[in-house]
């Protein structure tokens, strides 16, 4: 029982136990700090996290790199032959990089081209959609909480479920064609026509993820001081000018986060697009991760070394994007500090 802010007997006992435990821990920690200094303590506290990072990220990365230097279809490294950079030279063996058909590994370059087009279109459309949604949801509209939940709901769905739902909508005898026929329109082969399938994969991906980015932007919008808007209103500033001169600049840190996260996520596109189109028609929605999966695991012409080389190249792209994010964030911080 707590009375007048005083601790109860059981809480006092608990605190005594905690203090005793802390006292025991304190002895070696003090010794460690004496020996290693403050920077050593920082390393000590970071060690568990770094160990997890090493086990689940660094070691697999190194193993993957070693795989990319080997050949054959065996899974175990001991059964694989060292081929040096052969897998990389296979990938880069091209007459003209803009014409995948002139490349030895044509499907890799088709997948790379598809991924690049997907990233540019999906990310730009996603940011616009997320920004518009966030601006609307930030206003005093009726049922605002309900609408926020509606936009966030697809984020909670499994990508496989998302892909399947939209496949049933887009397939030849799907819901969309039924509606079109009901309206007297001609049905369309959404998933067997190259452009339709590509844009369908973009649309589904935006639908599935826009809620998450909207949430980030919404948090940014709510952090903008209200008095800035009040001052602008008093000055008679137009709404457009308020958006371009106040909202957008102050939302920039959040927009950069959204941009980089969306870019990284888009480069990694696989699950919902794979379930939706299986990479078809032909290879028009085959993206890099699917290429890596097919080459390494699913194909009858399996080649884990080539898949590993492709994933290292994709990893390099992701590293560049992450560095760009860090640079942009720093630039933004400096700007803010000034």
Residues forming the site for another protein (CB under 8 A): 71-76, 101, 106-107, 110, 171-173, 189, 191-192, 194, 197, 277-286, 290, 294, 297-303
Q: How far is the CB of 136 from another protein (least distance, A)?
A: 36
If the CB atoms of residues 30 and 172 are measured against another protein, the closer one turns out to be 172
Query: Residue 315 CB, nearest distance to another protein (Å)?
Result: 21
Shortest gap between Cβ of 100 and another protein (angstroms)? 9
Tell me how far, at minimum, the Cβ of 299 lies from another protein, in Å.
5
Quick one: 142 or 298, whose CB is closer to another protein? 298
Q: How far apart are CA 108 and CA 290, in angstroms?
A: 10
- The answer to whether 264 and 321 are in contact (CB under 8 A) is yes
State which residue, 148 or 167, has the beta carbon closest to another protein. Answer: 167
For another protein, give the closer residue by CB, 99 or 333. Answer: 99
Least Å distance between CB 263 and another protein? 24
Task: Specify the residue, 37 or 72, whose C-beta has the smaller distance to another protein.
Answer: 72
Tell me the closest approach of the beta carbon of residue 279 to another protein, in angstroms: 3
Nearer residue to another protein within complex by CB, 253 or 280: 280
On the question of a cis peptide bond just before residue 281, with omega within 30 degrees of 0, the verdict is yes
């Amino acid at each position: 029982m707590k009375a007048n802010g005083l601790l109860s007997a059981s809480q006092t006992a608990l605190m005594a136990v905690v203090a005793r435990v802390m006292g025991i821990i304190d002895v070696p920690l003090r010794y460690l700090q004496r020996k290693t200094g403050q920077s050593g303590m920082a390393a000590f506290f970071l060690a568990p996290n770094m160990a997890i990072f090493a086990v689940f990220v660094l070691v697999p990365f190194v193993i993957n790199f070693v795989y990319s230097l080997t050949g054959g279809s065996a899974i175990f490294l001991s059964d694989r032959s060292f081929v040096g950079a052969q897998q990389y030279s296979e990938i880069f063996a091209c007459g003209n990089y803009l014409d995948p058909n002139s490349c030895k590994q044509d499907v890799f370059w088709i997948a790379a081209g598809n991924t690049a087009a997907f990233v540019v279109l999906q990310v730009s459309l996603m940011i616009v959609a997320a920004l518009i949604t966030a601006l609307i949801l930030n206003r005093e509209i009726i049922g605002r909480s309900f609408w926020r939940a509606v936009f966030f709901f697809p984020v909670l769905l499994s990508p496989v479920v998302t892909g399947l739902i939209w496949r049933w909508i887009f397939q030849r005898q799907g819901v969309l064609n039924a509606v079109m026929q009901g309206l007297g329109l001609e049905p369309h082969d959404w998933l067997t026509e190259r452009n339709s399938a590509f844009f369908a994969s973009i649309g589904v991906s935006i639908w599935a993820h826009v809620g998450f980015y909207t949430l980030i932007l919404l948090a940014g919008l709510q952090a903008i001081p209200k008095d800035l808007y009040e001052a602008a209103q008093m000055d008679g500033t137009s709404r457009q000018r308020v958006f371009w001169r106040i909202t957008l600049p102050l939302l920039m840190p959040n927009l950069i986060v959204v941009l980089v996260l969306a870019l990284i996520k888009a480069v990694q596109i696989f699950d919902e697009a794979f379930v939706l189109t299986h990479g078809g028609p032909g290879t028009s929605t085959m993206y890099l991760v699917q290429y890596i999966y097919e080459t390494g695991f699913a194909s009858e012409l399996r080649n884990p070394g080539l898949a590993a080389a492709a994933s290292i190249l994709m990893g390099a792209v992701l590293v560049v994007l992450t560095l760009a994010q860090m640079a942009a964030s720093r630039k933004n911080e400096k700007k803010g500090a000034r």
